[in-house]
């Protein structure tokens, strides 16, 4: 009996310890706001020193594989759609009623004029597979204790960054901040996850800010207004024919 208890205790301890590996922490943070499938409505605010532009969008995701994003407001751009299947992106343009496939050379260009790139949509963010991860510090961000992790790309990993710094909240394993560095160690951009709220049956950060560190005063804020996870999405909506409907 005693032996049984100590055995169970050992398993429990091992599990707890496993939950603490840097890889586990990042994996949990990455999974936290991604379901097998999801549907959401969000508002994207592109802020520059010269103007502020607000777009409202609707999106369907199947894992990281497929996505359809539709602009629903303002009227001038409503109807423009972005379709992602694997590594490819198509833009449907309502005005000319045409579909453009984004060429590889344009992947690092801005998506819909925001601080996100087409590449951000396409990139399969498999942090655990592509990076060597280690915990570098314990930090407090927005009043919450966090782990600060350093992600260095593995050799040959298909990654454009030289280094990532990743903050994960200790309380709920949610991402808090990601800093992107290039090969020279210069900070290129910062993503912040704010306003954790219960939505779609989960606790998720509902406000994301992507700050372009190379262009002063440029950032893009996404506010999730509605989200549902793990619902059935018919596969046919991710097709070129459907895109042009």
Q: Which residues bind other proteins (CB under 8 A)?
A: 46, 48, 50-51, 53, 76-77, 80, 91, 93, 95-96, 98, 100-103, 105-106, 109-110, 112-113, 215
Structure tokens at 186: 């210069």
The CB-of-85 to other proteins minimum distance in angstroms stands at 15
E-assigned strand segments in the chain = 37-47, 52-62, 66-73, 81-85, 88-93, 98-101, 131-141, 144-153, 163-169, 175-181, 187-199, 202-212, 219-229
Q: How far is the CB of 51 from other proteins (least distance, A)?
A: 5
Least CB distance to other proteins at residue 156 (A): 27
Q: Please tell me the distance from the alpha carbon of residue 7 to that of residue 13, in angstroms, as a whole number.
A: 10
DSSP string, 8-61: HHHHHHHHHHHHTSHHHHHHHHHHHT--SEEEEEEEEEEE-SS-EEEEEEEEEE
Q: Which is nearer to other proteins, 118 or 166 (CB)?
A: 118
Q: How many CA atoms lie within 13 A of 207 on its CB side?
A: 6
Q: How far is the CB of 243 from other proteins (least distance, A)?
A: 14
Is 32 or 46 the residue whose CB approaches other proteins more closely? 46
Q: How far is the CB of 77 from other proteins (least distance, A)?
A: 6
Nearer to other proteins, 23 or 43 (CB): 43
CB-nearer residue toward other proteins: 198 or 245: 245
Phi/psi of residue 232, each to 5°?
A: -85, 125
Shortest distance in whole angstroms from residue 76 CB to other proteins: 6
* Three-state DSSP class for residue 125: coil
Of the pair 59, 142, the CB lying nearest other proteins is at 59
Complex with other proteins: residue 97 or 156, whichever CB lies closer? 97
């Amino acid at each position: 009996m005693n032996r049984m208890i100590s055995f169970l205790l050992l398993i429990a301890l091992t599990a707890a310890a496993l939950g603490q590996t840097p890889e586990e922490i990042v994996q949990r943070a990455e999974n936290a706001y991604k379901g097998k499938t999801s549907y959401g409505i969000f508002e994207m605010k592109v802020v520059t020193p010269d103007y502020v532009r607000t777009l409202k969008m609707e999106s369907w995701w199947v894992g990281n594989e497929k996505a359809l994003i539709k602009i629903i407001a303002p009227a001038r751009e409503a109807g423009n759609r972005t379709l992602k299947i694997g590594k490819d992106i198509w833009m449907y343009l309502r005005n000319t009623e045409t579909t453009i496939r984004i060429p590889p050379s344009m992947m690092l260009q801005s998506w819909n004029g925001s601080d996100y790139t087409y590449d951000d949509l396409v990139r399969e963010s498999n942090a655990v597979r592509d990076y060597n991860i280690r915990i570098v510090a314990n930090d407090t961000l927005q009043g919450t204790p966090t782990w600060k992790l350093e992600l260095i790309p593995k050799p040959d990993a298909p990654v454009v960054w030289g280094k990532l710094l990743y903050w994960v909240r200790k309380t709920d394993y949610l991402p808090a901040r990601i800093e992107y560095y290039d090969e020279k160690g210069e900070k290129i951009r910062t993503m912040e996850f704010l306003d954790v709220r219960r939505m779609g049956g989960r606790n998720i950060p509902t406000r994301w800010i992507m700050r372009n560190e190379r262009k002063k005063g440029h950032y893009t804020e996404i506010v999730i207004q509605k989200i549902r996870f793990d619902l059935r999405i018919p596969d046919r909506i991710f097709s070129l024919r459907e895109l042009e409907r």
